[in-house]
C-alpha cells in the first residue's frame, strides 16, 4: 500500500532497492546486505534490482513500479538520484534517497545527510513530502542544469578518469583542461516573462538546490525555496579570468555583478545556434534537441524525509 500524504508505514509497503554498484567505497554485495538487514524486517516486501553494465536507472525504476513497488530506494550519487526521480515523478510512488556519491546535494537538501545509516533511519521512521522538480524539455533534474563549459568539463573528466582513475585531483585537472581548451563562449537567446535578450557567456547554470547554492556561497537560495530557478550567467570570458573565477567559486568568494548575472524565474526559454546541445544534469550529461524550455514541476516527486526535517 502506498505511503499516505505524511506517513510512511513500511509494514504495508513493498520497497524496491536500486543500487549503483560504482557508488561508495564498499563492495556492492556488502551494501545490499546491510540495507536488507535494516529494511527487510520492517517492510511488507523487499526487492533488490541489480544494476549491470548497460542498464538504465530510470528504466529499472519504471520496472520496479510495474512490479508493484510502493517505495523505490535509490543508492548512489546525485546523478543516480536524478535518473530515478525522473522515472518516479508524477507516479505517486515515493522515493527514498540513500546517499552514495561525492557531494550528495539532494540527500543533504532533504535533511537525510550523507550517511547511509541516517538515510535508512529516515526511511524506517520518516515522513513523505512532495518536492518541486526542475525540467529542461522532458528531462527532469534535482539540483542543476548547465549549458556551456561545464558539460565539456564532464566530457573531458571521463577521459581523464579512464586514464588516471577517479580522484579529486583528476576532477580538478579536468576543469583546468576544459577551461584552457575553451574556444569561444556560448551564444544564446534567453526569454523570460516574454522578454528576449541575447547573451554571450561561457556558462549558464540553472539551480534548483538551495543547499548547493548556500554551500557554494551563491545567492538565490531563497528564490529556489520559493519555487523558482536561479539562473547564473557567467560574465568572465577569457581563460585566465575564468580560472580566477573558478578559484573564487571553490572558496565561496564569487561576486554577483563581477563574476555572474543572476536571473530569477519559474520558466525560461533558452535557444542556441545548434539544434542539438550537450547539457549537464546533476553531474551527468546528455544531448537534447532545442529550443530548451526550463520549467518548474510543482510537487511532482513524493520523497521520504526525516520526521524532524522541514
How wide is the angle at C-alpha 90 spanned by C-alphas 89 and 93, nearest 5°? Answer: 75
Convert the pLDDT of each residue in 216-250 to its tens digit.
888 999 999 999 999 999 886 666 666 556 555 54
Q: Can you list the domains of the chain with their CATH numbers?
A: 10-133+301-305 (3.40.50.10330), 144-281 (2.60.200.40)
> How do residues 116-158 score in pLDDT, each as one tens digit?
999 999 999 989 999 999 999 999 999 999 998 777 666 666 6
Q: Is the pTM of this model over 0.75?
A: yes
Q: For residue 273, what is the DSSP state?
A: S
Q: Is the pLDDT of residue 301 over 90?
A: yes
**The three cell numbers locating residue 56:** 538504465
Residue 285 pLDDT more than 60? yes
Higher pLDDT, 263 or 21: 263
The predicted-structure confidence for 153-173, as pLDDT tens digits, reads as follows 666 666 655 555 555 565 555
Mean pLDDT of the chain: 86
Reply yes or no on whether the pLDDT at 210 is more than 90: yes
**Whole-angstrom Cα distance, residue 262 to residue 201?**
13
pLDDT of residue 229: 96
Q: Is the pLDDT of residue 39 over 90?
A: yes
Q: What's the pLDDT at 250? A: 47
pLDDT digit string (tens) for 17-34?
A: 999 887 766 677 899 999
> Which tens digits make up the pLDDT trace of 49-90?
988 877 899 999 999 999 999 999 999 999 999 999 999 999
**pLDDT for the residue 186:** 84
| Per-residue model confidence (pLDDT) at position 251 | 46
In terms of DSSP H, where are the helices of the chain?
28-39, 57-66, 78-88, 105-110, 116-125, 149-164, 168-180, 210-215, 221-225, 239-250
The 3-class SS string of 121-143 reads HHHHHCEEEEEEEEEECCEEECC
Of 108, 103, 101, the C-alpha closest to 77 is 101
Q: At a CB cut-off of 8 Å and minimum separation 6, what does 301 contact?
A: 85, 88, 89, 95, 130, 131, 132, 133
Angle at 70 between CA 67 and CA 74, to 5 degrees: 90
Share of the chain above pLDDT 70, in %: 79
For helices 78-88 and 57-66, the axis angle rounded to 10 degrees is: 40
The lowest-confidence range among 24-38, 175-189, 279-293 is: 175-189
Q: How many Å apart are CA 177 and CA 180, to the nearest integer?
A: 5
Amino acid at each position: 500500500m502506498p505511503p499516505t500524504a505524511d506517513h510512511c508505514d513500511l509494514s504495508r509497503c513493498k520497497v524496491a532497492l536500486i543500487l549503483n554498484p560504482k557508488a561508495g567505497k564498499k563492495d556492492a554485495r556488502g551494501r545490499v546486505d546491510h540495507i536488507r538487514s535494516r529494511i527487510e524486517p520492517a517492510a511488507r516486501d523487499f526487492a533488490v534490482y541489480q544494476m549491470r553494465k548497460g542498464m538504465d536507472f530510470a528504466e529499472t525504476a519504471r520496472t520496479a513500479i510495474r512490479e508493484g513497488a510502493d517505495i523505490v530506494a535509490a543508492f548512489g550519487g546525485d546523478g543516480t538520484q536524478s535518473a530515478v526521480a525522473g522515472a518516479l515523478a508524477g507516479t505517486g510512488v515515493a522515493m527514498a534517497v540513500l546517499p552514495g556519491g561525492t557531494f550528495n546535494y539532494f540527500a543533504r537538501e532533504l535533511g537525510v545527510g550523507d550517511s547511509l545509516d541516517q538515510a535508512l533511519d529516515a526511511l524506517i521512521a520518516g515522513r513523505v513530502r512532495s518536492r518541486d522538480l526542475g525540467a529542461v524539455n522532458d528531462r527532469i533534474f534535482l539540483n542543476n542544469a548547465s549549458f556551456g563549459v561545464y558539460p565539456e568539463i564532464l566530457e573531458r573528466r571521463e577521459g581523464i578518469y579512464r586514464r588516471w582513475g577517479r580522484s579529486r585531483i583528476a576532477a580538478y585537472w579536468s576543469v583546468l583542461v576544459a577551461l584552457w581548451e575553451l574556444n569561444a563562449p556560448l551564444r544564446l537567446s534567453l526569454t523570460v516573462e516574454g522578454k528576449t535578450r541575447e547573451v554571450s557567456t561561457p556558462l549558464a547554470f540553472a539551480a534548483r538546490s538551495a543547499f548547493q547554492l548556500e554551500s557554494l556561497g551563491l545567492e538565490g537560495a531563497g528564490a529556489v525555496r520559493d519555487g523558482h530557478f536561479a539562473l547564473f550567467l557567467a560574465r568572465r570570458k577569457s581563460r585566465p579570468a575564468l580560472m580566477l573565477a573558478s578559484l573564487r567559486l571553490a572558496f565561496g568568494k564569487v561576486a554577483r555583478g563581477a563574476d555572474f548575472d543572476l536571473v530569477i524565474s519559474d520558466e525560461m526559454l533558452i535557444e542556441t545556434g545548434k539544434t542539438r546541445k550537450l547539457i549537464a544534469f546533476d553531474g551527468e550529461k546528455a544531448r537534447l534537441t532545442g529550443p530548451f524550455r526550463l520549467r518548474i514541476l510543482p510537487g511532482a516527486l513524493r520523497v521520504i524525509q526525516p520526521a524532524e526535517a522541514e
